[in-house]
Amino acid sequence: MPGREATPITWAIALHGGAGTLSRDIELAEKHAYEVGLSTALALGVSMLERGDDGLDVVEAVVRVLEDDPVFNAGRGAVLTADGVHELDASIMDGRNLACGAVSGLTTVRHPIALARKVMTESSHVFLSGEGAEVFGSTVKVDRVENSFFTTEYQRKAWELAHEDAGEVVHKDAGEEHGTVGVVVRDKNGHLGAGTSTGGTIYKRYGRVGDSPIIGAGTYADDRSVAVSCTGTGERFIEQVMAYQVAARIRFGAQSLADAVSAAMVELPAGAGGLIAVDRYGQIAMPFNTTVMHRAAADSTGRRNIGIWEEIIELS
Ligand code: ASP
């Protein structure tokens, strides 16, 4: 079997906290905050998977923790649009039956991933946007907050810088920003799940939607192949149908996970971003072509690591 290890992996999880550029000269406190955020989220996922929880519950719970963490660009800590507000996007997919749910342009839903899952389980639709998604949020009773709840000092300053630079340019590229969150898992029953949540790209135009809530572009899961969550300049990932491309390479092209992700990454322009993936054997891949991708991974064989720049940090 391609990529199968000698010791079978019974469960595996990978998560990301966004890809982009980040100087190695950042303050220790900032680096520490990223590391704590990644390892706290990873620890939750590990404890749930070890006790046999369903993969989709793990995806939602871990994404919610990352959404609440202000260092990441999802939920609290999200980037601001050109108009100075937050518009949040998320999606989730269940690999056992290809069920999926997505939301975009949310302004008052505290955990966009939770609403994406409700779209999947409690509506006959797959994707709700803007006002309609908010109204649906009221009927299924998800947590609501003021839009300003999502604003951090860090993102307010980032917006001011983008605003000064904007000039004639209405939309800035993702470039410097990072912090979208995503989780992929293989649970003990062999089910794959994926979820992604984001504030989008900094200074984005009103109504802009990136790859994160688009099934097949930013998120995909199929028990027959792989679960994938992407991060980076969404427009490039939509063009490449990136998450599905990885799945199709494995399922129809019989490529190993490693070969599928490398071949798919070659299709992206340099600096576009990265992805996390876990296949049906529990193999994990976390490639990126930016200077950083905040990421973490664990599996049933004892793997526990996190990374920001290229190097991997083993957790004890
Ligand atoms: N992919 C996200 C988007 O385009 C942004 C990111 O991952 O940083 O909305």
What residue segments make up the domains of the chain, in order of their start?
A: 8-311
Kindly give the number of the ligand 1 atom that is closest to the alpha carbon of 218. 1
Residue whose CA lies nearest to ligand 1 atom number 9:
200
**Residues forming a β-bridge with 92:** 101, 195
pLDDT at 299 over 70: yes
Which tens digits make up the pLDDT trace of 117-155?
999 999 999 999 999 999 999 999 999 999 999 999 999
Distances (CA, A) of 210 to 3, 104, 232: 32, 9, 9
In terms of Cα–Cα distance, which of 185, 55, 56 is closest to 118? Answer: 56
**Mutate which of 106, 173, 201, 208 to test ligand 1's pocket (most atoms within 8 Å of Cβ)?**
201
pLDDT of residue 6: 67
In terms of Cα–Cα distance, which of 105, 88, 94 is closest to 195? Answer: 94
CATH code of the domain occupying 8-311: 3.60.20.30
Kindly give the number of the ligand 1 atom that is closest to the alpha carbon of 235. 4
Residue whose CA lies nearest to ligand 1 atom number 7:
231
Instruction: Give the catalytic positions in this structure.
Output: 180
pLDDT of residue 166: 74
Give the Å distance between the CA of 142 and the centre of ligand 1: 23
Give the Å distance between the CA of 63 and the centre of ligand 1: 15
Rounded to a whole number of angstroms, the CA Rg of the chain reads 18
pLDDT at 175 over 50: no
Which tens digits make up the pLDDT trace of 15-35?
999 999 998 988 999 999 999
